[in-house]
A and B are shown apart, each in its own frame.
Chain A
């Protein structure tokens, strides 16, 4: 592998320092309130040393690993979505003037809470989350009109990815063909080695910028043993997926079974809370909120995350188009796993499993898609047997 180096933890610190000195806001995984989340990072000591995670339907716990791994967890509570596509974005401000509202673009004065702003360097992203970024690039910048703020944040970002070494029970990236080894969309990809020999990271460049950064670190070239070890770590992780989603013909199954009783069954459990859409790294629906002062003299327009599980989401004069939870869950899953393919050429699911972990009712997208398939195929078989 050309340009692969072996780094020590100190080299990672140097990488963070270089990126900071070049003006990047460096972000990475840290332990926050009993979960792993992406936060500003100045020191490798902030990484989740020795922490792993345990994930299942409606279940997330940090656990002590008994080793010094800093990337020994499966995936954090959030992907990089809030970094590049924040939950609340100021679009413009307006003041009332002689010719009606005067509109100011926000580019001129950045809001106060955005001091830790772009360009971003994000450390420790998983392959599933890289796939989600590729999807967002397509959805938000690859069509007739782009999300300008997203495009700006993405343009100069640096991404340092990590091979997933210890997938969780909710992971199914292998069946979505998105992991666990980063394949594209990064500047540097790390594989953490801790089981034999010293704690170290095999780093391979994925862009000229990544190669240049690795050269700056003056780390030693990766040995063949390290490269082989790194490859086997990825292969072993691929064998330990907690779940699987069969994507074969799934679009037609979803389109053809919009009236399946399976939706009624899910609706009995679904709380329509929207957690799944908030943690989903690809969900991109937003709403517009106007905030004005009491006199109505100034107002701000914000673009905020929205969820297809809310009643307002589909409201038109006369009522919501999707009144029932059944129709809202069907919309979410059909969009994610089927309509997305027509719209953007890929599935909208990257197999990170967050919607399963963070669903308070432990609804499992892989199980529901499997059940829909089972019922549909059973019906087809019965039909075929009839004379």
Chain B
């Protein structure tokens, strides 16, 4: 009993203790979104699965859950793409090169991109939702031969808000990824699509009977997208969404991220639409 508890104890204490990571580079992606590249201060790089998140700590300011946006194959710097919208995210993106941040995790379920092998893969992103999907795309293009058609449907607010533009080009040019971008609002010289990303689903060129879909964005966008995908004939359990809720601990203890019977930090954030649909159709659940 004592031994079991002490093993649990060290695990739990570690889960609540941040590791120090140094800011190596800060890349400005758009007017309000930045990617931090972090290296551990001592110790091994963080191993993670595409779709997992960490709790990022700006010492003395606070801690927020942020999805990892880098390559899950390991070895490189730890990347997080952060929209500067609150006090903690402001402190995070303002941390100078060489500054130290706290990292807990990785936590939660991943996209499980392997599920899509042998078939078509459709990734649908809304806004900053492209950041958690980036590790999935990097994993897919690294193993491109295992997948049939690969589509990325991406909706941004304006052309200025398009994230990872160099990646989008590279994926399309070098890795046979069919990228379709749409914006809510385009200036007069915008020649691309305007409208909701959901609208791209009905005519996109994938075979619903062998498609696995990965969706990330605002909850209402994910629900409409999942319904559109299901209307096309994609099985609900092959439509995977990444849910967002308030998170404080990351290990299922604090209770904040509950969605009825789910603890989204451990049961999620990535879950199948078969599981989520009844929970997403109720306001304020």
Contacts and interface: CB of A to CB of B under 8 A. Distances in A.
**Chain A CB within 10 Å — which of B5, B41, B61, B85 has the most?**
B5
Contacts of A152: 5, 9
A75 to B, nearest CB: 24
B255 A306 contact: yes
Interface string B132-161: 000000000000000000000000000000
A58 B41 CA distance: 54
A290 B63 contact: yes
B100 A101 contact: yes
B90 interface: no
B97 interface: no
Contacts of B85: 317
* Contact residues on B (Cβ < 8 Å of other chain), bracket: 35 or more
Contacts of A303: 16, 254
Contacts of B261: 338-339, 342-343
A143 B252 contact: yes
B245 interface: yes
Contacts of A321: 245-246, 284
B9 A146 contact: yes
A94 B245 contact: no
Interface in B10-40: 10-13, 15-18, 20, 22
Interface in A137-188: 140-141, 143-148, 151-152, 155
Given A96-B59, A100-B41, A100-B99, A306 B260 contact: no
Interface string B179-202: 000000000000000000000000
A323 interface: yes
Contacts of A306: 248, 254-256
A185 B91 CA distance: 47
B60 A299 contact: yes
A151 B8 contact: yes
Nearest to B12: A148
A67 interface: no
Given A151-B8, A290-B62, A299-B59, A99 B20 contact: yes
B8 A288 contact: no
A107 to B, nearest CB: 8
- Interface range, A side: 35 or more
B253 interface: yes
Interface stretch (A25-33, A46-54, A308-316): A308-316
A338 B261 CA distance: 8
B16 A91 contact: yes
Contacts of B83: 317
A200 interface: no
Contact of B249 (A103, A286, A322, A343): A286
Contacts, number: 134
B229 to A, nearest CB: 24
Contacts of B245: 314, 316, 321
Nearest to A314: B246
Contact of B248 (A144, A288, A296, A331): A288
B255 A308 contact: yes
Contact of A145 (B12, B22, B60): B12
A258 B278 CA distance: 11
B284 A255 contact: no
A288 B5 contact: no
Contact of B8 (A141, A258, A308): A141
Nearest to B20: A100
A327 B283 CA distance: 8
Contacts of B251: 144-145
A141 B253 contact: no
A87 B93 CA distance: 33
B255 A286 contact: yes
Interface in A274-331: 284-288, 290, 292, 296, 299, 301, 303, 306, 308, 312-317, 321-324, 326-327, 331
B111 to A, nearest CB: 20
A140 B100 contact: no
Given A145-B11, A339-B260, A288 B284 contact: no
A288 B18 contact: no
Contacts of A322: 284
A229 B73 CA distance: 70
Nearest to A283: B255
Interface string B54-66: 0000011111000
Nearest to B22: A100
**For A92, A147, A315, which residue has the most chain B Cβ atoms within 10 angstroms?**
A147
A286 B86 contact: no
B16 A92 contact: yes
A152 B83 CA distance: 39
Given A284-B253, A292-B60, A317-B83, 9 more contacts: A101-B100, A146-B11, A152-B9, A258-B282, A286-B253, A299-B59, A327-B285, A331-B285, A343-B263
26 contacts: A92-B16, A100-B20, A101-B59, A105-B13, A140-B253, A141-B8, A144-B266, A146-B8, A148-B16, A151-B5, A155-B1, A255-B260, A286-B254, A288-B63, A288-B249, A288-B254, A292-B60, A296-B60, A303-B16, A306-B254, A315-B246, A321-B245, A321-B246, A326-B284, A327-B285, A335-B258
